[in-house]
Amino acid sequence: MPANRNVLAFVMAGGEGARLHPLTANRCKPAVPFNGKHRIVDFVLSNLVNSEIYSTYLLVQYKSQSLIEHVRQTWTMARFMPQHFITVVPPQMRHGPAWFQGTADAVYQNIHLIESMQPDIVAVFGADHIYRMDVRQMIDFHVKSNAHASVATIPVELGECDQFGIVDIDERHRITDFREKPKSTRPMPGSRTHALASMGNYIFNADVLLAQLKRMHESGETDFGKHILPSMVKSHKLVAYDFATNIIDGTEPYEEHAYWRDVGTIDAYYQAHFDTLGAQPKFRMTNRHWPIYASPDQAESAQIENGVINRSVVGSGSIVDGATLDHAMLRRSVLVERGARLEHCIVMERSRIGRGAQVRRAIIDQDNDIPADERIGFDLEQDRRRFPVTASGIVVVPAGAFPARKAASSPIPGTVPGTSRLEEAVSRMEMLA
């Protein structure tokens, strides 16, 4: 990126994530765990850092404490480089006693940050998606197009248009119409089945954005997708950036080209996990050219006593003792006891799956102690009386739904003669937790 192109990024991380409940009962949507050791917010922050965009404000609002702690522990920039930072910004209420009323209002309430930084370009990105993107390529397209604002776009099926901002474009990618979550729309050029949708990632010339934010505030508008972008279509040059043209080094031929998922529902969140599994996944988490950074990991290595494991992830500090894992994802410090079986499951931190327990097509949130011989995912009517179950049959066990049992192992490994390797490992895991 040219040295004279000064870019400031705002990441919209205030999402309540109501459709991800109960995973968002005590955390905001960007803080929801993903895969073995990441959180959803790590994807956008990794994309910005890998794109050499080092000045980022993370705008938070709902149940943000776990997100704030994650950013504090994971995303610390060098103190001797003042323009390199990722800073969490809660509502400051500088313009009245109000929370953020929308995406544009969130940036307007922090307009002083733009005025003090004086960037050339402002990137406004969402924090809720799983993808890799070189933001420099979008900025280059924006500059070459002489655009005032650019919108990253992907094709979506017509039946999903009510979930996205939908754009119409001309032959030069100029946006001629922008409609936020329309009930129906016409197909994009060259397709009968898909429309062109906004990814919620925008590039603005800073002076244009400042003027639009001030105009918006005076007129009582609050949102980029509902208000600012539709109103700019006739008065400014808006262009659509084709995400399919974004090239990431290290992407394997078998991966889905231009992979991007909005994990705003339990079903989408669940499926995205399994898109990362296998020898040839749709989305490979490991790419040394474009890493997705995660929080520092102080837990011990995973321990497999024995068992049968097929296409699964076993997080650090986890123990598998004579169990069967089939398309299972274990995050940190998970214990799966003898005879248990996990099939197409996601199990989060500090959970225990008891002896003989059978769990399939389920998400087990953190700090759960599933009893011995428990069955989850086999009788959905019974499950619905206890837990949320999606229409497709995914069972979600909320955090702490099964309180922890008293550990049977020695509290200090090695102090009791005859303590098994498994008991020692359990004790180490419990002390780390």
Encoded tokens for 27: 């955390």
Q: Give the integer Cα–Cα distance in Å for 80 and 100.
A: 32
Q: Is the peptide bond before 155 cis (omega within 30 degrees of 0)?
A: no
Question: Other C-beta atoms within 10 Å of 25: how many?
Answer: 13
Look up residue 270 and give its amino acid. Answer: Y
Q: Give the integer Cα–Cα distance in Å for 94 and 87.
A: 18
Q: Give the integer Cα–Cα distance in Å for 372 and 337.
A: 9
Flag whether 165 is marked binding. Answer: yes
Give the CA radius of gyration of the chain: 23
Flag whether 356 is marked binding. Answer: no
Beta bridge partners of 203: 123, 150
Q: Give the integer Cα–Cα distance in Å for 194 and 185.
A: 9
Flag whether 181 is marked binding. Answer: yes
Q: Give the integer Cα–Cα distance in Å for 188 and 192.
A: 7
Look up residue 85 and give its amino acid. Answer: F
DSSP string, 1-35: --TT--EEEEEE-----GGGTTTTSSS-GGGSEET
DSSP string, 393-430: --EEE-TTSSPPPPP-S-SSTTSSTT--HHHHHHHHHH
Q: Give the integer Cα–Cα distance in Å for 26 and 24.
A: 5
Residue 190 contacts by C-beta under 8 Å, 6 or more apart in sequence? none
Look up residue 167 and give its amino acid. Answer: V
DSSP string, 260-321: EEE--SHHHHHHHHHTT-SSS-SS-S--TTS--------SPPPEEEEEEEES-EE-TT-EEE
Phi, psi of 51 (to 5 degrees): -85, 10
- Residue 240's H or E segment, with its range, is strand 238-242
Encoded tokens for 20: 């991800």
Q: At what angle do helices 65-74 and 41-50 cross, to 10 degrees?
A: 30
Which residues define the annotated binding site? Answer: 165, 180-181, 198
Q: Would you list which residues are annotated within the binding site for alpha-D-glucose 1-phosphate? A: 165, 180-181, 198
